[in-house]
Chain A
Amino acid sequence: MNFSEYILMALASLKANKMRAFLTMLGIIIGISAVITITTMGNIMRKTVKDAYSSVGANAINIYIRLKEKPKRNYYEDGDFLTDSMIEQFAEKFSGRVDNVGKEENVGNAVTRINHKDYTLSLDGADEGYSVLSMSKIISGRFISDSDVSRMKQVCVISDKQANKMFGNANPLGQTVTIMFKNKTYDFKVVGIYKYTTSGAASGAMSAMDSSWNTRIFIPISTAQRIAGYDTIGRYWEFYLNGAESENVEQLSQDIVDYFNSTYYRNNDSIEVKYYTAEREMQQFDNILSVVSIIISIIAGISLLVGGIGVMNIMLVSVTERTREIGVRKALGAPNTAIRLQFIIESMIICLIGGIIGIILGIILGNIAGMIIDTMSAPSIPAIIIAVTFSMAIGVFFGYYPANKAAKLDPIEALRYE
């Protein structure tokens, strides 16, 4: 008796009990779809983050100050901050090893009124060096310049989307954007337009998932600090740079941090300089994702276990119901192995169909979740292969006991069974 005969036989018996077969599959469907959903979503998120990083370059480095692990004081003093001269000297010292050095500081949200409607803008102070780091593609005009910063000019760079909303088809360059910030009104002259993207950009790489990023408006960093009401202008929490092509990002970052700490913070008992890289963020993201994956996998595993027990239960019922049929088959010459195989294949098919439905459902659910962040993704092929193999394995594992019970039935008893 060949395999296809067993499969046809199994399908015939499942067809006779469609509803029951479906309910039995449910546990398997839920388990498999959970795994596929999470792997699909993971792929989508990883892809999104990777895209964002690849636009900023994997060699982007963020240098920042923070309190030491055991600080003498837990607040910042004037002398703790990074200054223009520190950053300038650093850039000179590391010239050749670093490509762009730029400062950026988000001072908060401002409001602008367009056609009697308020829009929130993310007010972003930046300097010329940040132009490349921002990866905001300038499509007309220019980015913030160093002279804008030194002269504390009220100029801005806005997204094409915002420009379109505010000025329609008119040339936005030279137009005025009025913003309300901290209860005051300021006029900014538009000097440049950047291309709006969905996946964020720049140190946006560091916050690619933050949708508010898309509404950001760049102004000179000195202007930003002034209107934010800082006592001293020209002090920074952090700055950004790109490592030169030939540099090892981790090594370069470590060298920079060592330079700052030994030059400026040797005697500071509470503050130190640290670094942060896109690469490291990616790793952290992967770590979070793998923790989530593990949790979902455990849930899915429990669901599959319960599903498998359900399959075993229904197969036991099926064996009992079909005791007489088993007796007849044996009387007609079916060896024990044929009976065993018949029931194992039946339980395998329940699990396999459940697994396939689960995979399809998982892909759909994963992509629905993906649509929220505007990215579609195919599920990982290994995940599908594992899911199919695993569901069949469940079928064999949980089908074996009932099948063996069927195979070992005494034909005389079975034939007599009412």
Chain B
Amino acid sequence: MSDNKPVIDMRSIVKSFYVGTPNELEILHGLSFTVPKGEFVSVVGASGSGKSTLMNIIGALDRPTLGQYFLDGTDISKTDDKTLSEIRNKKIGFVFQTFNLISRTTALKNVELPMLYAGKGKRERTEKAKELLEMVEMTERMSHMPNELSGGQKQRIAIARAMANDPSIILADEPTGALDSKTGRLVMDIFHKLHREQGKTIVLITHNNELAAETDRIITLADGNIISDIDNRPNLKHSENSVKLNKDGDI
């Protein structure tokens, strides 16, 4: 990639929750890492490792308590709610474990939704949504309601929706977690395709090491710290700080 400015630049991110003064619970203890444009990175860790908290911060759903988070070069650690929602709309494409399609509207309308909030015109929305549905091979199902679709189909719609505003990063939270291995494979292939063909930056949150092993880089969290950050590209296997993980993702 010619542009080597990182898409995600986390500097000493601390996140604490107040669970009743004076005690506060620190979940993330000063994480720092960068993700360059076009990287397919996975964040792994057991439950309670701070994975979800980190994901919420990456996805601009939450702000860090301390530290700075530059997304595409802008510091979003101190922005207001309105700006955050704009950032989510334009720069982040969420893919959830449970798909989270809006149940009362068609597949097409679901894909149009982020563009609706971005204030795009009807014709532009529909055109782009159809294009994206074609990309995930769901054109035939575009007027179906979510409850008429299988899990794999729903997730493909959700990926199309995540791509709607051409975001800087796709943030996928256990995207295959609710799918059988065959359809999970299909979904992963779409991510690989987006990465390979469109150069998308993808952050995959998972506790499945096999899936993580498919990505360029594996960041492992435990107890709110990054305990390993492995460059997993075939030609550069195992960098110095790599830590061997067992099957459960524990150290």
B123 contacts A by Cβ under 8 Å = no
A1 — which chain B residues lie within 8 A by C-beta?
Answer: 116-117, 119
Give min CB distance, B94 to chain A, whole Å.
Answer: 5
A353 contacts B by Cβ under 8 Å = no
Q: A329-B113, A331-B59 are in contact. Are A336 and B100 (CB under 8 A)?
A: no
Provide the bound-state CA to CA distance between A5 and B121, in Å.
11
A334 contacts B by Cβ under 8 Å = yes
Provide the bound-state CA to CA distance between A330 and B56, in Å.
12
A415 contacts B by Cβ under 8 Å = yes
Q: Which stretch of B69-77, B85-93, B196-204 is in the interface?
A: B85-93
Evaluate contact between B104 and A333: CB separation under 8 angstroms: no
Provide the bound-state CA to CA distance between A106 and B118, in Å.
81
Provide the bound-state CA to CA distance between A1 and B85, in Å.
14
In the complex, chain A residues 229-262 whose Cβ is within 8 Å of any chain B Cβ: none
B105 — which chain A residues lie within 8 A by C-beta?
Answer: 12
- Residues 303-335 of chain A, each 1 if its beta carbon lies under 8 Å from chain B, else 0: 000000000000000000000110111111111
A19 contacts B by Cβ under 8 Å = no
B62 contacts A by Cβ under 8 Å = yes
B243 contacts A by Cβ under 8 Å = no
B119 — which chain A residues lie within 8 A by C-beta?
Answer: 1
Provide the bound-state CA to CA distance between A271 and B88, in Å.
90
A16 contacts B by Cβ under 8 Å = yes
Give min CB distance, B33 to chain A, whole Å.
Answer: 21
Number of interface residues of B (CB under 8 A): 28
Evaluate contact between A332 and B117: CB separation under 8 angstroms: yes
B56 — which chain A residues lie within 8 A by C-beta?
Answer: 412
B114 contacts A by Cβ under 8 Å = yes
Nearest CB to that of A333 among chain B residues?
B89
A380 contacts B by Cβ under 8 Å = no
Evaluate contact between B114 and A333: CB separation under 8 angstroms: yes
- Residues 321-359 of chain A, each 1 if its beta carbon lies under 8 Å from chain B, else 0: 000110111111111111000000000000000000000
Provide the bound-state CA to CA distance between A330 and B88, in Å.
8
Evaluate contact between A335 and B94: CB separation under 8 angstroms: no
B61 contacts A by Cβ under 8 Å = yes
A57 contacts B by Cβ under 8 Å = no
In the complex, chain B residues 67-112 whose Cβ is within 8 Å of any chain A Cβ: 81-82, 85-90, 92, 94, 96, 100, 102-105
B59 — which chain A residues lie within 8 A by C-beta?
Answer: 331
Q: A1-B116, A411-B61, A412-B61 are in contact. Are A333 and B90 (CB under 8 A)?
A: yes
Evaluate contact between B100 and A328: CB separation under 8 angstroms: yes
- Residues 402-414 of chain A, each 1 if its beta carbon lies under 8 Å from chain B, else 0: 0000000001100
B117 — which chain A residues lie within 8 A by C-beta?
Answer: 1, 329, 332-335, 338
Provide the bound-state CA to CA distance between A327 and B88, in Å.
12
Nearest CB to that of A13 among chain B residues?
B104
Nearest CB to that of B112 among chain A residues?
A5
Evaluate contact between B94 and A5: CB separation under 8 angstroms: no
Give min CB distance, A12 to chain B, whole Å.
Answer: 5
In the complex, chain A residues 1-19 whose Cβ is within 8 Å of any chain B Cβ: 1, 5, 12-13, 15-16
Provide the bound-state CA to CA distance between A329 and B90, in Å.
13
Give min CB distance, A255 to chain B, whole Å.
Answer: 76
Provide the bound-state CA to CA distance between A336 and B83, in Å.
11
Among B87, B102, B114, which residue has the most Cβ atoms of chain A within 10 A? B102
Evaluate contact between B104 and A332: CB separation under 8 angstroms: no
> Which residue of A13, A324, A332, A336 contacts B88 across the interface (Cβ within 8 Å)?
A332
A337 — which chain B residues lie within 8 A by C-beta?
Answer: 82
B161 contacts A by Cβ under 8 Å = yes
Evaluate contact between B62 and A332: CB separation under 8 angstroms: no
Provide the bound-state CA to CA distance between A328 and B96, in Å.
9
Evaluate contact between B94 and A332: CB separation under 8 angstroms: yes
Evaluate contact between B61 and A331: CB separation under 8 angstroms: yes
Nearest CB to that of B59 among chain A residues?
A331
Q: A12-B105, A412-B56 are in contact. Are A336 and B85 (CB under 8 A)?
A: yes
Evaluate contact between B62 and A333: CB separation under 8 angstroms: no
Q: A5-B116, A12-B105, A333-B114 are in contact. Are A324 and B85 (CB under 8 A)?
A: no
A335 — which chain B residues lie within 8 A by C-beta?
Answer: 81-82, 85-86, 117
A411 — which chain B residues lie within 8 A by C-beta?
Answer: 61
Task: Give the interface of B toward A (CB within 8 A).
Answer: 56, 59, 61-62, 81-82, 85-90, 92, 94, 96, 100, 102-105, 113-114, 116-119, 161, 165
20 additional A-B pairs beyond A331-B94, A333-B114, A415-B96, beta carbons within 8 Å, are A1-B116, A12-B105, A324-B100, A325-B102, A325-B103, A328-B96, A329-B113, A329-B117, A331-B100, A332-B114, A333-B85, A333-B88, A333-B89, A333-B90, A333-B118, A334-B89, A337-B82, A338-B117, A411-B61, A415-B100
Top 3 closest pairs, chain A to chain B, by CB: A333-B89, A328-B100, A335-B85
Between A and B, 19 residue pairs with Cβ closer than 8 Å are A1-B117, A1-B119, A12-B104, A12-B105, A324-B100, A327-B100, A330-B85, A331-B59, A331-B61, A332-B89, A333-B86, A333-B88, A333-B165, A335-B82, A335-B117, A336-B81, A411-B61, A412-B61, A415-B100
Task: Give the interface of A toward B (CB within 8 A).
Answer: 1, 5, 12-13, 15-16, 324-325, 327-338, 411-412, 415
